[in-house]
Structure formats: structure tokens, C-alpha cells
Structure 1
Amino acid sequence: MTPFRVLVVDDEAPARAKVKRLLAGDERFALAGEASDGPEALAQVEALQPDLLVLDVQMPGLTGFEVLASLDPDACPAIIFSTAHDAFALQAFEAHAVDYLLKPYDLGRFRKALDKAEALLRGKRREPERLRALLATARLERLVVKVGEGWVPLRVDDVWHLAADDKYVRVRTAQGEHLVRQSLRTLEERLDPARFIRVHRGDLVNLEAVTRLEPWTHGDGILVLRDGTTVVLSRTHREEFLRRWGLET
């Protein structure tokens, strides 16, 4: 029986060493690798395709939640959270993650988490809806994009326009464009609705990035963004956009 592959993600080396030691005694699971921060975790997930993440919540650079927000829900590994604090996250995420380990934990508690993970993985139920529900409980503040062989976080406030592009979303900022392998719907669910609004079937815009609205045809409009680029405002979304933009209809 091939063991399930585990990626251990924690910014503290002693914490990673403890998880690796606890894993070593369980033949159902095998260590695939480890990562000390969010960007490294994303690179390792892409390279190793683990079955299970043992994931710290509070890490410098990117939190565990931001790591998850950058993964494709339909291909995401099972998740066991491991953290020393954050009672709010415990309450919000306990119902959706495979398990939530509050440090310090012992072998018995760790084995119970692995039992749950095995049951989920043996049933081959990755349950993307569970991950979507998990992510929907927290607003997205940073969006992680791949640049070369590494990963870079973008502040959501700096994002002007998101456009569906096949299986990706094209994200436009003042510094350029990036591709994110997530659906526009998934990102829309996590973005702050006070700042981002759908203006077309395949487009979301940051309301603060819109500098001008120009009429077009058949009730559609043209939104001019800060850099002079344009986005079509469909008549389907026109009334809601005008209301949210502050223009009475």
C-alpha cells in the first residue's frame, strides 16, 4: 500500500522537526518535503503534489490561509492546520479542515488527525466545496502570483482588474499582469464586495481603479481605469455598478 505523501509547512524548525518525528512512526504516511514559509509551500505543492498538508496558520510573509487561497480548490491536498494560537481561526475553520491541531499536541492527538486524513483520502474525496467554504470565511487581503520560479504576494488594494482567461484569471495591477490558476467565481467569493464588483460575465474591477465611465452601445458602457485601459460594463451589471460607484440612477 503506497503511503500518502505529506508536506509539512511551518516557519519554526523545531515545529517541523516534531511533525516529521511523529510522521516517521506511521506507515500510512510518508514525508514528501517541508517548507518554512508560504511562497516555499506553494512551490513545493506544485513540485511534489502532496496528498496532505500539515500547515501552520501564522507565518511571516503569507499566512496559511493565504497559501490555501492560492491553491486550486479542485486539486488541493487535504489540510491539517497546526498552530499555537488564533482562537478565532479555531472556531471558524474547525468545521471545514480535516483537523485543527493546537500546539503543543502529543502523538495521540496527532494520530487522531492522521486517522481523519486517511479516512478522507481513502475515500478519494478532496471535497473542493469544503475548501471553498473554508476560504469564504475570511476576506482575501493578498493574492499570491507566480513570477518566474517563485511566488510573490500582491496586495488586493493594488489589483485593478480581474478577467477570466480559460482556466486562469488575468490579474492587472499598476506593475503589470499576472495569471492565477483559480476561477473568477472563487476569487469573487473571497474579495471584499465593498471594493470589487462584477461588471461583465468575465470581469471584476476595483471600484477605486475606475476613473471614468463612457457610454457605448445598447446600454453597455466603457470603464476607463487608472492606466487608461478599458473594461466593458455590460447593461446587466450597469445599475449595480452605478449604485456602488456612487452615481444615482
Structure 2
Amino acid sequence: MMAVMSDQTLRTLIVDDEPLARRGLRLRLAGETDIDIIGECTNGEEAVRVIAAEKPDLVFLDVQMPGLDGFGVLRRLPLSNLPMVVFVTAFDHYAIGAFEASAVDYLLKPVEEARLSQALFRVREQAQARAASEQRDQLLELLGSVTGRPELSLEDALAAGAALPDSRRPVRLAIRDGGKTVLVEETDIDWIDAAGDYMCIHAKGDTHILRGTLRELEAKLDADRFARIHRSTIVNIARVRELRPHINGEYFLTLDGGHEVKLSRSYRDQLRRFRD
């Protein structure tokens, strides 16, 4: 891929609620001479204020954030002066195809240097030939894909997006496996165990390795469907077939297929969810 050099400095804002994600992206962008990082935001509300005040050229925008998420940020921005947006996501809530077709680009966490280089290539191309109407049309196409209503105006599409049940939308985990990305449906997950910054996602007889913390993943999953039963274990409630008491208030849970996981004493309050 031939390098595209921007003839302007791109004033860039990083928006992500995860400190390590912000730091990692900042470090990877440090060597790009035409990228001027003007700040970082830790949540959507802060991002709306900073974008309105600073008017950055480019925003790396996390899709999934507590409170006001990435699409919520877009809904709150003036339509006449939108920055270029590169979406950053750990989980494929939305169709990856929509990002590929409609956003400047998207990045999956953890961000890989090769993919970041590709995203910057596209950003620089658009910076050279960008028009407000083109960006408006791109965002309209993206939001039409997400809302399922491509006939809407951008204003109506953004408003319709506000009604999307994000917290109830089934998660699709995008997991890198060598040179490919495996998409795992939330409903297919049997249980998850963790060690350090890595998790084993057990789904439909396969085990997938995902980088991240159990706490972060727990926040993304449907709380009505999954239960934290140990500091290193999350289980799909529908997969539990038997409860067997152990010592000191602990339990062993038998899942479909016969696998056993331990419910620790610290999580005894979760027992009622299996008995209801």
C-alpha cells in the first residue's frame, strides 16, 4: 500500500473509557508526524463537549462506553461540522460490514499496528478530498444500516438510533485467530474463564482466546443471561443443569455436556438465579 501523506496536521481526539486503550492508541500514534493528539476523553458526555469546543479533524471513537456510547456521541454533534471518525470496538455489536462500507474505518481491540496503518491511510485519503456532504452521506449510510431504515434523513436516522436497545442487543465477540476473525454469538457461549488479561470463551464445543479482563466483558454481556460465579468464571445461566453443594458454602455447577464449574462462596447470592 502506497503511503498517503496529508498536507495538513490532523488535530486528533481519542475517546475511550478504558485507560489502557487510550494509552495504547496514543503510543501507536506518537510516530505519525501529521497526527496532533489534542486530548483524550473518558466518556461520551465529555467527548461531546470537547468536540464542540476544539473541533478536531479526526476522532478515534469507542463504540461501547457506559452512559453515552459512540453512536450517542454522533447523535449529539452538530451535523454541519462533523469530524472524520474511526470507530474502535472490542465487540461486534453492530455489523462489521456496516463499518467497512460507511465509516472512514473501524479498529478492533486490541488495536494492531497493521490495521492502524490501514486506517490512517484511509483517513489521509479522505482528508485530501473531504467534503462535508460526503461525510454526511457516509454517516447516513452507516446509521441506515444500523437502524434498518436506509430511507431516513441523517437527522431522523440519528434520532432513530437513540431508540436502539443497545444494552439488550446480543453481543457478537470478534476474536482474532491468526489471520482471521471469528465471530462468536453471545447466545452460543457456555462459560468463560479468565487468567490475567486473557479469557477462554467456551462456545459450541470450541474454545477461543480473547484478550481483555473478565470485568470488562461482564459489563458487555446480557446480565439476564450470564452470571459471575467466581472471580475468574462467568457462566451462561441457561447451560446449568445441576447444582451440587461443596464445602464452605461453595457449589459445583454441571453444564450441558457434563463440564463442571465452581461457584465460590463470595458469589452465593447468584444461586437464586439458577433456582428460579
TM over 0.5: yes
1:16 to 18, 22, 28: 22
* Cα separation, 1, equivalents of 2:158 and 2:115: 32
Give structure 1 stretches of 5+ with no counterpart.
140-183, 196-249
User: In structure 2, what is the Cα distance between the partners aligned to 1:135 and 1:53?
Assistant: 17
Count of aligned pairs between the two proteins: 150
Shift of 1:2: 4.0
What one-letter code is carried by the residue in structure 2 that aligns with 1:43? R
For 2:138, which of 130, 133, 142 is the aligned residue? Answer: 130
Deviation at 1:31, TM superposition (A): 0.2
- Per-residue deviation, residues 25-61 of structure 1 (Å, max 9, x unmatched): 0002110111010000000101110000101000001
The amino acid of 1:133's aligned partner reads: E
Cα drift, residue 190 of structure 1: 4.2
Structure-1 residue corresponding to 2:47: 41
Give the TM-score, by structure 2 length: 0.50
Q: AA paired with 1:53?
A: V
Aligned equivalents of 1:59, 1:18: Cα separation in 2: 17
Change (3 A) 1:31 1:191: closer
What SS does structure 1 have at the residue aligned with 2:106? strand
CA positional deviation for 1:82: 0.8
Helix, strand or coil at the partner of 2:127: helix
Q: Is the CA contact 1:73–1:132 (under 8 Å) kept in the aligned structure 2?
A: no
Q: Check the 8 A contact 1:42/1:67 in 2, yes or no.
A: yes
Return closer, same or farther for 1:187/1:12 CA change in 2, 3 Å cut-off.
Answer: same
- Higher relative contact order, chain-length normalized (CA < 8 Å, sep 6+): 1
Structure 2 partner of 1:79? 85
Match of 2:27, SS state, is helix
CA-CA distance at 1:20 after TM superposition: 0.7
Give 1 or 2: higher helix fraction: 2
CA distance in 1, matches of 2:22, 2:50: 15
Q: SS in structure 1 opposite 2:64?
A: coil
In structure 2, distance between residues paired with 1:72 and 1:135:
16
CA displacement at 1:116 relative to structure 2: 0.5
Q: TM-score, normalised by structure 1?
A: 0.55
Q: Distance in 2 between matches of 1:54 and 1:2?
A: 18
Tell me how far 1:73 sits from its aligned partner. 3.0
| Amino-acid identity (%) | 40
Match of residue 10 from structure 2: 4
The question of 1:112 aligning with 2:80 is answered no
Kindly indicate whether the alpha-carbon contact (under 8 Å) linking 1:10 and 1:56 is maintained by their aligned counterparts in 2. Answer: yes
Q: How does 1:80-229 map to 2 (within 5 A)?
A: 80-126=86-132, 127=134, 128-139=136-147, 186-192=154-160
Q: What 5-or-longer segments of structure 2 have no aligned partner?
A: 1-6, 164-276
